[in-house]
Amino acid sequence: MPSTGFNGDVYRLTHENVNFNVPKATPGAYVLGHRKDGALIVDYVGRSDNDLRERLLLHAGEKKYERFKFKVFGTVEEAFAKECQLWHDFGEAQFLANENHPAPPKGLGVVCPVCRENR
């Protein structure tokens, strides 16, 4: 089974947990999912290029997912690379709610480090 490579806890996806645990105005990548037999089952992967907290708060409002795990990155490029890796590692559209490959950040000319495409 693939690993997210994220240190730290798996949190319940609530507004309170996002506000308390996720820093504002930072790029980052995240996974959303549910618990099964004590493990986090990843159902969705994503990123934010500028405000990870705000992006996760949108998901908390949807009430589609139970849990989340995240990592803050220093650059948008790093967050995109991690999102791509997670999308490929966790089964792409076959097993994830994400049907499409992660879109690259606008204007940076970066490509997926896994499949080397700029979708």
Order across the sheet with 11-12: list the strands. 11-12, 67-72, 28-36, 39-48
The one-digit pLDDT tens for each residue of the chain (119 residues) are 789 999 989 999 999 999 999 999 999 999 999 999 989 999 999 999 999 999 999 999 888 999 999 999 999 999 999 999 999 999 877 889 998 999 999 888 899 999 886 55
DSSP-derived 3-state class of residue 103 = coil
The CATH class of 11-95 is: alpha beta
For the chain, the structural domain boundaries read 11-95
Considering all CA atoms of the chain, what is the largest pairwise distance in Å, rounded to the nearest integer? 42
Instruction: Report residue 54 as tokens.
Output: 């705000």
Q: Indicate the pTM of the whole model.
A: 0.93
Q: 109-113 long-range contacts, Cβ below 8 Å, gap at least 24?
A: 110/77, 110/80, 110/81, 112/81, 112/84, 112/88, 113/81, 113/84, 113/85
CA distances from 84 to 16, 30, 90 (A): 28, 11, 10
